Every structure is written in C-alpha cells, then in structure tokens.
Structure 1
Amino acid sequence: MSSPARLNLSAGIASVATAITLVAIKLWALGETQSLSVAASLADSALDLMMSLGALAAIVYAARPPDEDHAFGHSAAEDLAALGQAAFILASAGVIAFAAIGRLLAPEPVALTSETRGIVAMVVSIVLTLALVLWQRRVAARTGNRVVKADSLHYLGDLLPNFGAILALWASAQFGLVRLDSAIALAAAAMLTVGAMGIGKGAWDALMDRAADPVIIARIAELARTQPGVHGFHDLKTRRSGSRLFVNLHVELDGDQSLNAAHAIGAALKHAILAEFPGADVIIHFDPARKTAP
C-alpha cells in the first residue's frame, strides 16, 4: 500500500474510533441531562459514525490496485462516497435547522438537569473532535483525498452544535435559559450546507470527468513547453478521479532522432510532471514535429 493510501486509511480508522467514542460519551451525557441540544449532538455523532464507516470502506476500496476490470484503478469510489456524504450532510443540516426553529418557537422549554456533567462531556467531545479534524486536514492536504475532506467537514461542523450545547447547559444552570443553542445550531446548519455543496460539486465534477483545475493545467503546459527536446505539444487532457490526477498529452519531437532519444525526452517530462503532482497517472504520446520549409 502506498504512503498516501496508508495516510488516508489512518484518517479513516481514526474517524471511526472517534465517532464510537463520541456516541458513547453523548449517550451518557443525554442520560444525565435530558438536554435536547445534547440529544441533537448525539444524533449528529451517530450520523458521523455511519458516514465514517462508509468513508473507511471507500478508502479501503479505492486503495486497491488496478485490475482487468478497472484498468485505471478504483479511485472513483472516493468520489461516490464523497457525493453520498455531501447528500447526508445536507440532510443533517436540514434536520438541525428544523429542530433549531422548532425549539425557538416552542412555547415551553424543556427543563435540563446535571448541567455540569453535561458540560464536561461536551468539552471532552470537542477536544476529541478537534484532534481528529487536525489529523484529517493534515492527511487531506498531503493526499488530496475528497473522502477525508468531507469527513473532516462534518466533524468540523459538529463543533458549533457542541459549543451550542455547552452554552445551553451553562445558560440553563446560571440563568434558566435553554434556547441559546438554537441560533448557533442554525449557523452550524448554514455552514454545513455551504461546505457540503462544495464537496458535492467537486465529487460530481470528478465523476463527470471534468478537467483539472486551470492552475494545474497551466503548470503542466509550462513543463511541456520548457522541456528540452520538446518542439511543441497538443491535446493536453486532464481529469481527476478521487484524489488521483490523470494527464494525457501529445508532444512533438524531432522525427529523425532515435527511439531511445525520444523515449528519454518523454520520460524526463513525465518525471517532471510527477515531481509536481505525485501519484498522477501520466500518458505521453510522441508525434513528429512539423518541419518548417527552408
């Protein structure tokens, strides 16, 4: 298994382990406090667990090497999982917003108990979530994995509901207020919606074979243009599948030189592209350069 695959796998395992721990902590806190905000946070963590299990399965599947039926590998599984996660995140944002509005409009708030214990449980949850998000962000920055990015997004979105639960418990204990977390829950739902749309668009673009970012294309073109021995290039095509970049281009070489010399030029260009974009799948075709009339 490659180093990026191992990093992605570590992020997936950490996500599942953290989700299980958070569910256990919040179950205990709900029993102690009877808090609706804690119950909402528990439901969110249960959803996280389900999504983390799905994300881990996608990461493991995507890491499989190419085979006869999947010559380009299995990295599209990452995009499918990310698209599913985006849909679930949107759904959970809708549920959070609906619940928050319901609590704001309810004529009678629900009395809370054992607020201090609940606050301690939520603080522990925040610390665990922050540690996980920091690791996921580090992994995603190094591997570009959309599944890890999506997983990090919905855990980051958990922080606002957790802080909202703490504020609600504190306000209940100090002032008898229990609706303070509703406004924060609405803000969290908005943040989740925006983030999920971004993750979903990226996954959809990859599944539809959309070209890579223009900055990446421009850099590949510059490498081809400045490679010694390359007289020109055309038909530069790119796409992304999961965290993997695919590059296909035609380079124009001196048609009178030996095949070994042409291959050396192509190999040098390929290595230059891989140095800039590690893990990319690069295919270079050789065409004879057009000779100008004397």
Structure 2
Amino acid sequence: MPSNGDLQRIALWSIVVAFGIFGLKLSAWWLTDSVALFSDAMESVVNVVASFVAWYALRIAHRPADDNHPFGHHKAEYFSAVLEGVLIVVAALLIIHEAWTALFAPRALEAPVAGLLVNALAAVGNGLWAWLLISTGRKARSPAMVADGKHLWTDVVTSAGVIFGLVLAVVTGWLWLDPVMALIVAVNILWHGWHLVGDSVQGLMDVSVEPEELAEIHRVVEENSVGALEFHDLKTREAGRARFIEFHLVVPSDMTVEVAHHICDRIEGALEKSQPGAEVTIHVEPAHKAKFA
C-alpha cells in the first residue's frame, strides 16, 4: 500500500498537472473561440481547485489521532470529494449558460486544426494522470484521490466527445454542433458531480465494506476463532483509508482471560493480513450470551 508521503507527493503533483492541462485547454479555446472547448477549459478550472482541496484534505486525513479526534481525521477526504462534486455542478451550470446563448448565435471556428490538436494533447495527459490517481487511490483506499482521478477521467471522455463533435462541425459546416457539444459536456459533468457527491455522503455516513470483503472478513474470523463458541453482530465501516471491524466473540464461561485473549490475538493477526490497517474491536462474552448455540 502506498505510504502517506507517497500520496501527498502525488496530490501535490496533481496541482502542477492540473495547471498545465488548464493552460493547454485555455490555449485551444483561445485559438478556436469554440464554446465546446470553452466548456472543456472551464472544467479544468474545477480540476485545479479540486487538486488543491484534495492535497489539503490528504494532509488533514493523515494526521494522527488526538484528544479531540480519538478515531483520527480520516473522513476529511470525504469532505474533499463532496466539495469537488459541488464545484463540478457549478462548472456545469456555467457551461450551460454559455452554450445556451451560443446555440442561437453559432459562430465559425478559428484555427480549428491547431486548437483541436492542443486539446487532444491535454486529453492524453489527463488520461495518463487519471489512471495513476485511480490506481494509486484504490490501493491506498483514498476517497479523495480516487474522486480526483475519476473526475479527470470524466474530463478525458468529455474531451474526446468534444473533439469528435468539432471535427464533425468543421467537416460538415454545421456550426450548431459546437454549442450542442458544450451542452452534452455540461450534462455529463452534472451526472458525474451528482454521483460523486452521493458516493462521498455514503462514506460520511459510515458505509459498510463491499459484500465480497465482508464475506472475506467473516471467513477469516470463523477460521481463526477455534476454541470460542461463536461470534455474532459483525459490523464494519469505512472512513477514508481507515477500516473498522467489530464483533462479539462468545467463549465458554470457564475459559480464562488469558486463553480468550490468545484467541482474540490470533483473530486480529489474521485480519491484519487480510485487511491491512484495519482497526479491530472484539467484545468477549460468556456462554449464556450466545445467539446461535
């Protein structure tokens, strides 16, 4: 799993990359005066702001637990993702306003070939960086980094659509395709922003791990609880990179504390291998607390 330092370095470089991509897209719009390319550039403004927010959120999320935050600062990353989603929605509304105006007064594109080549270069750069952010963020279980990567990938898809639409507009002379493509981009951005906010809110509400991972946790506990009578009330939740596992372990009433503790150590060790970094809480109970005996 990538270290905290690795994540923060990548997040810092994301700011640099975002500025570079924004500069390229702004140049493409300046060369062509295209509303669709303007919409693409406006989304890159969001990328710049979101990169700053993600970098700052990662710094906060990786602070150690303190007296006021005994469970850590992991959820700071979800606030970053929520804010990014809101910014995406605002950008989409600005694009819709500009595109709707241009739809009734379409204008010819200036230097379309040069502008489209510059925008294509920006899209390739965005795609490579999005892949790095998503793959690294998933390995590190970082919502902020995954959200940033997914947003960039959406940007790549919309850029490809814009380029295709503008090529078609140049070839056919249908100037109305320019604002129409901008509107399509805006709708796609709105959809992405909505889902990004929804996913982040789920994280803030202590969502459980995925069913496949929950089944794996159940298997590990069952295989390593030899000597106990049963376990029940298995609960999990995720908060950014942190993962919390909690359950009740029922042992024979005459079992010594030392033996029960040994069983708990064995389970915790197995869970640490299966779920690196997970915080495990086991409530040991006497036999009469069994639910499935």
With normalisation by structure 2, the TM-score equals 0.87
Instruction: Give the secondary-structure state (helix, strand or coil) at the position aligned to 1:266.
Output: helix
Distance 2:141 2:178 in 1: 34
- Among 234, 237, 246, the alignment partner of 1:236 is 234
Q: After the TM superposition, which parts of structure 1 deviate over 6 Å for at least 4 consecutive aligned residues?
A: none
Distance 2:274 2:92 in 1: 37
Distance 1:16 1:197 in 2: 23
* Deviation (angstroms), 1:7: 4.3
Q: Is the Cα contact below 8 Å between 1:254 and 1:288 reproduced in 2?
A: yes
* Deviation (angstroms), 1:171: 4.0
Distance 1:110 1:79 in 2: 42
Worse-matched range after superposition: 55-64 or 241-250:
241-250
Partner of 2:63: 64
Instruction: Give the secondary-structure state (helix, strand or coil) at the position aligned to 1:13.
Output: helix
Partner of 1:289: 287
Partner of 1:37: 36
Distance 1:80 1:32, change over 3 A: same
Give the RMSD, CA atoms, in angstroms. 2.6
Distance 1:113 1:63 in 2: 48
Q: Is the Cα contact below 8 Å between 1:203 and 1:242 reproduced in 2?
A: no
Partner of 1:77: 76
* Deviation (angstroms), 1:291: 9.6
Worse-matched range after superposition: 185-194 or 9-18:
185-194
One-letter amino acid of the structure 2 residue matched with residue 42 of structure 1: A
**Pairing 1:110-259 to 2, within 5 Å after superposition:** 110-227=107-224, 228-259=226-257
* Deviation (angstroms), 1:178: 3.0
* Deviation (angstroms), 1:156: 1.5
Partner of 2:260: 262
Q: Is the Cα contact below 8 Å between 1:168 and 1:178 reproduced in 2?
A: no
With normalisation by structure 1, the TM-score equals 0.86
Query: What is the number of equivalent residue pairs in this alignment?
Result: 289
Distance 1:275 1:186 in 2: 49
| Ranges in structure 2 where 5+ consecutive residues have no aligned partner | none
Instruction: Give the secondary-structure state (helix, strand or coil) at the position aligned to 1:3.
Output: coil
Instruction: Give the secondary-structure state (helix, strand or coil) at the position aligned to 1:240.
Output: strand
Distance 1:192 1:36, change over 3 A: closer
Among all aligned residue pairs of Structure 1 and Structure 2, give the percentage whose two residues are the same amino acid: 26
